[in-house]
């Protein structure tokens, strides 16, 4: 599995995943919250936290090798 991760230029992929997660959490969620779209805020938060968690997990996997 870690060979497949390294094949995707691991650290760049992890950085992009974390930045996308932070962007959606810090920019998109408040924008939808102001519009009163509560369901969308929940979905955006779930996706953002998933991206952040996956990025951290992938980073740890790369460090273990």
The tens-digit pLDDT sequence of the chain (65 residues) is 556 555 556 788 888 889 999 999 999 889 988 999 889 999 999 999 999 999 899 888 888 86
What's the number of domains the chain is made of? Answer: 1
* Contact between residue 10 and residue 63 where contact means Cβ atoms under 8 Å apart: no
Provide the domain limits for residue 12: 2-64
Q: What is the pLDDT of residue 49?
A: 94
Q: What is the pLDDT of residue 59?
A: 87
For residues 26-53, one letter each, b for 16 or more C-beta atoms within 10 angstroms of the residue's C-beta and e for the rest, the string is eebbeebeeeeeeeebeebbebbeebbe
């Amino acid at each position: 599995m870690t060979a497949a991760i390294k094949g995707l230029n691991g650290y760049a992929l992890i950085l992009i995943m974390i930045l996308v997660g932070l962007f959606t959490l810090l920019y998109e969620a408040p924008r939808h919250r102001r519009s009163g779209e509560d369901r969308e805020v929940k979905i955006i938060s779930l996706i953002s936290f998933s991206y952040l968690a996956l990025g951290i997990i992938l980073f740890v996997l790369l460090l273990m090798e």
